[in-house]
Chain A
Amino acid sequence: MSTRKKNILKVIILGDSGVGKTSLMHRYVNDKYSQQYKATIGADFLTKEVNIDSDKVATMQVWDTAGQERFQSLGVAFYRGADCCVLVYDVTNTKSFQSIKSWRDEFLVHANVSSPETFPFVLLGNKIDADDSKKVVSNKDAQDLAASLGNIPLFFTSAKTAINVDTAFQEIARSALQQNQNDADAFEDDFNDAINIQLDNDTNSCSC
């Protein structure tokens, strides 16, 4: 195990166009905010070294995808091998909230994950720095949605003012690591089984 490869956690950010996916990613990775991001085409890619629970180190590879529906056919290329999927909506935009479920389904269809029921999603309601008058998605609705999607973690964030961004990504990293290790364990179990069969055979042949 000492030679074990450093953990790479692949995280995908999904959500409607303009909800702040790129801003969230840049806030988390570079702790910067800008009004000048261009619309994402295809997907952007950033990485960050993360400490999880102060004792585990991993590299998080974040794919920030394009929000426009037209680009959804691209999904396969970017979703595959993901360890965690982040669903983002804009608290000032009802439609972006309504799209969450279809983004999740879209992901599950294309990502080809081993067990869709347990695959980790994290829900983020972004732009909570906005005036209350502009907020159109209630916290209650968001909590209900999170519960209906399998009690997935929910955070209200602001990439602009950095509220909750680090906390949210800590959770994302933890879920991703968990998923990553589950997959690895599943692989190892298979491997052990194979060896056991081999040993049994050996024993049999010796006793003959």
Chain B
Amino acid sequence: MGVRSTSQEINRETKERRSHSSSSSTSLVTSLMKSWRISSSSSSSSSSKPSNKSSQSFSGNPTTGTYNDTMNNNLTQTNDGHSNQLRSSNEHRLYSLSRTNSSDGNFDAMSKQQNSTTKSITSPAKTYSPLRYASPSSNQIESPRASLLRQQHNKHSHHNQIYYQHNNNSTISEHSTHKKSSDKYFEDLDEDWSAVIDNYNMPIPMLTNGGNGKSSTSNNNNQQHNDPRNNLSRTSTASSVATSITSTTMTQGQSLQYPQLPNLNTMEAIELEKSQEEIENEREVQELNSIMQRITKFDNIIKGKNVINLQELRQLSWNGIPKPHRPIVWKLLIGYLPANTRRQESLLKRKRQEYTEGLKHTFSDEHSRDIPTWHQIEIDIPRTNPHIPLYQFKSVHDSLQRILYLWAIRHPASGYVQGINDLVTPFFQTFLTEYLPPSKIDTVEVVDPDTYLTEDQKENLEADTFWCLTKFLEQITDNYIHGQPGILKQVKNLGQLVKRIDFDLYKHFQNEHVEFIQFAFRWMNCLLMREFQMDTVIRMWDTYLAETSPETTSSFATSNQSNSSNDGVLSPHTPVSRKPPTFGTPNIDLASPASSASRSNMTTQTNASPAGVSSSDDSSNRFSHTSLNEFHVFVCAAFLIKWSDMLCDMDFQGIITFLQNPPTKDWTETDIEMLLSEAYIWQSLYKDATSHWLK
């Protein structure tokens, strides 16, 4: 896979430039990340797009020259990682088809893995690709068949390695040597990056793994080599390599627009003989099966349990939640519904009652109306999602007005800020589907809720929406208090991140006097909701809620219960097997809005501390400590860099105009999933490093 020669070369480079070790490591990662970007963006474009685009943008990299070989290797390597990733997701599909009780049926590429890959360097199942994320649970419950598939997989990786080494005229030596040399290399690295590598297992493990897979290779190697589909992502991305590979891949005509999933060897021989139509049908069946699988899995987690395993639910939800499950899963993930199912009903009852009483109190005569706030909400509601019929109905206007006004009154530190009217709608719309029969869930955007909701149901819907909005905004209080420091910080971090990931783009923005705040403010203020269609936003929130749910909040609330004068408003939570974090956002206390000042202080602390907290914690618990803002910045970076090539050709006016109205109208859930995985990968690579420079 060229890794060996890569590391040799880098090692040499690094020695030569010992004094500039940080710059060389930066360029390594930059080129890695760039190649990832290119690979994803070119695979997202239709197959008619010439593959030389990536080479173009690569030659535009300032770090060419002596780094050329290195970069080609990096490119290759990353792309291989990419294709491995894709292959593995396919493998998983097959696997889930063959076994009804498989552990993880969906897009493995995006399934989460954080637990200590370092420890498992010798485990082939986990370490063969730098950019692949295997679900920890899937590794634990792995069936013999899966490991067999993975072994084959590793053989491929190994073969690729040899293949690229030939390309680079390097000699093959013992793997142990390589590990050594790469270790050496990493010793030379800037501290930040060695930290990254320690945690996330950059190229080295792949090497080791290549060795593990070596023993029984050759047959499959040839097959793999000759089959164009397995080389797909390589062909479409690394033009230096593409020349040596038949370009028939482009004519395969597979209908998936976004990352095409290369097939496994075992299936290839059979599939080649089948007609396109059969393949199509089979794919549909597979997809249907995969959906059914997911539904079953969600059922298994949620239904018939006394205590729902939130960790498991979170991992599963990261890849998307089936529509029928979404309302309840969102409520669980956000910490509104307790994991203890026996307590759910009473809690819902109490919360809904609280909301009703809150309304009664706020709208009673003794409570004077906050006219500016009321007016602001009043003029914003008709302008909320104006293109969706649901938000034109009078009953919906009234509901949203009540929810937003009550929220604003209860949170005087921030009050109502434009954009919150956007953020309430995914909750409202999702919870509305609870009251529709499953077959009609898709009509939620066009039918007037008054035609199917009773008054009680409407109140329940409003209450659930209100509380979940409250929980959600608790995580990002800093975004909406005076001066919006949370947003300013995010915008700054985005700039820093882009500077490191895509320096060309960053430089170009500087030359054109484009400031990040000019386009990214809205991205932060509305969590990219203005940039995407509602259905994709909702899919995005599946991941956001899974990635960043405020477990800290509930734990803090639990430990803080004695301090509260009114424990009635604290949401009771079953502590999951997780030690309470040091910091947390206190639960918003309905009865004491005056405490909001101290609340925002606490939130600041929470935002500043997650890295420290998670490092002391078991790494598998990291989910609960990622802040929403933090992850969102990575998503924004992925989103921006997606257009990097285009933006680099534009002037100020073009850039701003483009970013004000990015071409995302036809984005599907797949596009969003790709974006989220890219963000996740970047977060994994940069998370620890960022603690040094993202302040």
Contacts and interface: CB of A to CB of B under 8 A. Distances in A.
A47 B525 contact: no
A41 B386 contact: no
Given A37-B386, A42-B525, A45-B660, A59 B418 contact: no
A5 to B, nearest CB: 12
Given A36-B386, A59-B653, A77-B515, A42 B522 contact: yes
Contact of A68 (B376, B483, B657): B376
Contacts of B379: 17-18, 39
B517 A77 contact: yes
Interface in A67-82: 68, 70-71, 73-74, 77-78
Contact of B383 (A39, A46, A47): A39
Which residue, of A39, A44, A78, has the highest number of chain B Cβ atoms within 10 A? A39
| Interface bracket on A | 20 to 34
A59 B657 CA distance: 14
Contacts of B488: 73
A66 interface: yes
B418 to A, nearest CB: 5
Contacts of A18: 379
A59 B652 CA distance: 12
B417 interface: yes
A45 B518 contact: yes
Given A17-B418, A73-B484, A41 B383 contact: no
A17 B378 CA distance: 11
A126 to B, nearest CB: 14
B521 A45 contact: no
Interface string A31-69: 000011111111111110000000000010100001010
B576 interface: no
Interface in B389-432: 415, 417-419, 421-422
Contact of A70 (B417, B421, B518, B526): B417
Contact of B417 (A37, A45, A68): A68
A18 B382 CA distance: 11
B656 interface: yes
Given A41-B525, A42-B525, A68-B376, A47 B657 contact: yes
Interface string B493-516: 000000000000000000000010
Nearest to B371: A95
B534 to A, nearest CB: 13
Interface in B511-569: 515, 517-518, 521-522, 525-526, 530
Nearest to A74: B521
Contact of A41 (B415, B515, B521, B656): B521
Contacts of A38: 383-386, 422, 530
Contacts of B480: 70
B298 to A, nearest CB: 33
A70 B522 contact: no
B419 A41 contact: yes
A47 B418 contact: no
Nearest to A38: B383
Nearest to B415: A70
Nearest to B480: A70
Contacts of B376: 17, 68
Contacts of A78: 518
Given A17-B418, A35-B386, A66-B418, A74 B657 contact: no
Contacts of A73: 482-484, 488
Given A18-B379, A38-B383, A70 B418 contact: yes
B383 A37 contact: yes
Nearest to B517: A77
A136 to B, nearest CB: 14
7 cross-chain pairs, A with B, having the tightest CB-CB distances, nearest first = A42-B521, A36-B386, A18-B379, A41-B522, A77-B517, A42-B522, A45-B656
23 contacts: A17-B376, A17-B380, A18-B379, A36-B386, A38-B422, A39-B383, A39-B384, A39-B421, A41-B419, A41-B522, A41-B525, A42-B517, A42-B521, A42-B525, A43-B521, A45-B518, A45-B660, A70-B484, A71-B418, A71-B484, A73-B482, A74-B484, A74-B521
Interface of A: 17-18, 35-47, 59, 61, 66, 68, 70-71, 73-74, 77-78
